[in-house]
Amino acid sequence: MAIFKLLDSSPVIQAYRILDFKAWKTGSYIKIEIAVQDGSFLYVREYSDDKERNYSYHWQDKAEELILRWDNSPHHRQLRTFPHHKHINGTVAESFEISLEEVLAYIEKSV
């Protein structure tokens, strides 16, 4: 599966743990805890099938404080990128990082 190749090839991932994984003919669900080399953690949740894709990428520091969370919960309709958005510094903003690959690229530039 492509997600495992991505995780194995990222230079910022120290380790990861698959907390839940289910795959079926038309989709999959995965939940992962990722240890980043700077001591932070990224918690990944993705669900996808023929009709929908839901995700949440929750990045927190070693003190368990939120750094950034990307998700596509269908609220914040005022944003141009609806339903994609990110939570940062107590605010909600437009998000153009909508895949794990894009989120990891963001983290790689930040650590």
The pLDDT tens digits for 64-91 are 999 999 999 999 999 999 999 999 999 9
pLDDT of residue 32: 98
Rounded to whole angstroms, the Cα distance separating 104 from 89 reads 19
Q: What is the pTM of this model?
A: 0.94
Mean pLDDT of 17-32: 96
pLDDT of residue 41: 98
Q: What is the per-residue burial (b if ≥16 Cβ within 10 Å, else e) of 3-13? A: beeebeebebb
Confidence grade of residue 53 (pLDDT, cut at 50, 70, 90): very high
Domain positions in the chain: 2-110
pLDDT of residue 2: 85
For the chain, the average pLDDT equals: 96
